[in-house]
Amino acid sequence: MAKAAELTRPLAAHVDGIAFERLPSDVVAKAKLCVLDSLGCALGGASHAAIGSLMEAVRPASVDDPSTSASVWAAGFRTGAPMAALLNGSMAHVVNADDAHKETMGHPGTVVIPAALVVGEMLGVSGAAFLEAVVAGYECLLRVGLGVGVASHRDRGWYSTSTLGPFGAAAAAAKLMRLGPEGVAGAIGHAGAQASGLWAFTADGSLGNIVYPGRAAEAGVLAALLVRSGLSGPTRVLEADDGGFLRAMSDQNAPDRILADFGKRFMIMDVSLKPYPTSRTTHAAIDACLAIRARAGGTPWWVEKLSRIIVRTYAVGKRQADIPDPETEWMATLSIPYTAAVALVEGAVGVEHFTRRYLDSPRIRAIMGKVEVVVDDEISAAFPATWSCRVEVIGPDGAREVERVESARGDPKNPMGPGEVRDKFHTLTREILAQAAGERLCDFIAGLEREQNVAPLAAMLRGTPRGGKRARG
């Protein structure tokens, strides 16, 4: 049998060759927005009950040696670097507002940025080196995602944030440790061998998936540490005929996409930021419902009189987000019927709408019961490059309001601006971070490339949690 063409080493060499001074200004700007966005999601999730359960389960030991430890955000202490990555990555996913990538169906920031900052703090790297590693991590994670073939990967039940995440975390960590192309390849190999994560949590509404990106970040940091300590990793983890990642994880992989167009466009530019704390699968429908509501002047007295709300979407969207009766707050964030009903009734979709007060609202539940999610063949054909939808709101007299959304707010074709991302940060962190402290964090991130050490950023994040109650969940 012919040996498969090399993938892991060329990808590692590409990642290792990314240099901050050669990054285009728009890539640096996007990386800083992704950092701010991910850290806001993490601080917003720090007080969640599920994070409290995770802390109780692992009981992280306080470690004072800065050469081996890193900050646990909003917890007031440091612990071993892999454990810090586990905890911080899990925090960043629990609010479900973390960034997303259409063609890989994953959330790269919730894995790459915690891993990069943990290692960056431990090594005392500059802000420029940290941003370089963030771009490299996104590049590695998302290229592997393009190669694995997301439709088949998802059909098998894999949760791509978790399966792809270790690659990005390992690339970022290995780059910061200056392991070189061969070391990056070995770290990618260790990380890929640890990749896992299943969609089974949706069968009963478990919150277990919030640990997935944390475990991915932990795996990537550990992978790089293993190589640095002399334990080489498998350098053909992607392409190996026996147990290679692509062959094991998908029936429709596209290995050529992993190596295509190196340096012509950085993958981070294709990442969407979320204006709503919900699955990205719901966002086009939310935008459409908000637009229809706005045409009614913002006071839709007619909502209760609607007979049907039809959401036409792609096949994966129906499979993943047609949750007609979500029983938990987390499952509500994944549900097109629930989020569409909230958008029509409330005129907004925010963190506060994923609490029992709204989930148990008779008014919202009545509207939710009128939502039908339908597969549209034309929209399905454009997936995953485009996540669009068409919403039809039908009144009691048969009159229809129709809205088609091609690119939801936050998509690279319809991006959130820096001011919106900053406002989102403050909204997510207002229960745990004083306004002045939040502004200092935002300002530090805005000038990251001029900072000589990222440790002060980690120290600001470590802080001391305000209050004592754990919100949501």
Given a cut of 70, is residue 473 above it in pLDDT?
no
pLDDT tens digit sequence for 272-317? 999 999 999 999 999 999 999 999 887 777 788 899 999 999 999 9
468 vs 190 pLDDT, higher one: 190
Average pLDDT, the chain: 94
pLDDT tens digit sequence for 15-53? 999 999 999 999 999 999 999 999 999 999 999 999 999
Q: Give the residue among 124, 137, 87, 118 at the shortest CA–CA distance from 225.
A: 118
pLDDT tens digit sequence for 51-68? 999 999 999 999 989 999
The arithmetic mean of pLDDT across residues 148-156, rounded, is 91
The arithmetic mean of pLDDT across residues 139-166, rounded, is 95
In the chain, the percentage of residues whose pLDDT exceeds 70 is 97
**Which pLDDT band holds residue 270 (cuts at 50, 70, 90)?**
very high
Full set of structural domains in the chain with CATH: 8-273+416-462 (1.10.4100.10), 280-405 (3.30.1330.120)
> What are the b/e assignments for 223-252, b being 16+ CB within 10 Å?
bbbbbbeeeebbbbbbbbeeebbbbebbee
In the chain, the percentage of residues whose pLDDT exceeds 90 is 88
The arithmetic mean of pLDDT across residues 433-450, rounded, is 96
Given a cut of 80, is residue 4 above it in pLDDT?
no
Q: Give the residue among 390, 282, 392, 407 at the shortest CA–CA distance from 332.
A: 282
**Which pLDDT band holds residue 465 (cuts at 50, 70, 90)?**
low
Query: What pLDDT shows up at residue 19?
Result: 97
